[in-house]
Homo-oligomer: A and B are copies of this chain.
Amino acid sequence: MFAIVMAGGSGTRLWPLSRRRRPKQLLALTGETSLLQQTVARLAPLLGPQEVYVITSAAHVRPTQEQLPQLPPDNVLGEPLARSTATAAGLATVLSRRDPDEVSLVLPADHFVADEARFAEALRDAVRAAERGYLVTLGIVPKSPATGYGYIKVGQRLHPSSAIALVERFVEKPDAARAAAFLKDGGYLWNAGIFAWRAYTFSQALHRFQPQLAAALEQMAALNRVPGWMSEVSQLLEPLPAVSIDVGIAEPAAAEGRMAVVPLDAGWSDIGSWSALLEALSATQGSSLVASGQHIDRGSARVLVHGGDRLVVTVGLEDIIVVDTPDALLVCARERAEEIKAVLDEIAAQEGDRYL
Chain A residues engaging chain B, CB cutoff 8 angstroms: 16, 296, 298-299, 310-318, 320, 322, 324, 326-333, 335-337, 339-340, 342-343, 346-347, 350-351, 355
Interchain residue pairs with CB less than 8 A apart (19):
A16-B311, A296-B346, A296-B350, A298-B336, A298-B339, A299-B339, A310-B328, A312-B329, A312-B331, A313-B329, A314-B330, A315-B331, A315-B332, A315-B333, A315-B339, A316-B332, A316-B336, A317-B320, A329-B329
Say yes or no: A313 contacts B350, CB within 8 Å: no
Which residues of B have CB within 8 Å of A333?
Answer: 315-318
Closest chain B residue, CB of each to CB of A311? B328
Say yes or no: B316 contacts A324, CB within 8 Å: no
Q: How far is the CA of A355 from the CA of B346 in the complex (A)?
A: 34
Most buried by B among A318, A331, A340, A342: A331
Contact of A320 (CB < 8 Å), options: B331, B342, B355: B331
Say yes or no: B329 contacts A298, CB within 8 Å: no
Which residues of B have CB within 8 Å of A316?
Answer: 332-333, 335-336, 339
Name the distance in Å between A151's Cβ and chain B's nearest Cβ.
Answer: 28
Which residues of B have CB within 8 Å of A299?
Answer: 336, 339
Contact of A298 (CB < 8 Å), options: B296, B343, B355: B343
7 nearest A-B pairs in the assembled complex, by CB-CB distance? A316-B333, A316-B336, A315-B332, A311-B328, A312-B329, A313-B330, A314-B331
Which residues of B have CB within 8 Å of A310?
Answer: 326-329
Q: How far is the CA of A328 from the CA of B296 in the complex (A)?
A: 11
Name the distance in Å between A255's Cβ and chain B's nearest Cβ.
Answer: 40
Which residues of B have CB within 8 Å of A355?
Answer: 311
Closest chain B residue, CB of each to CB of A322? B331
Name the distance in Å between A299's Cβ and chain B's nearest Cβ.
Answer: 7
Which residues of B have CB within 8 Å of A347?
Answer: 296, 311, 313
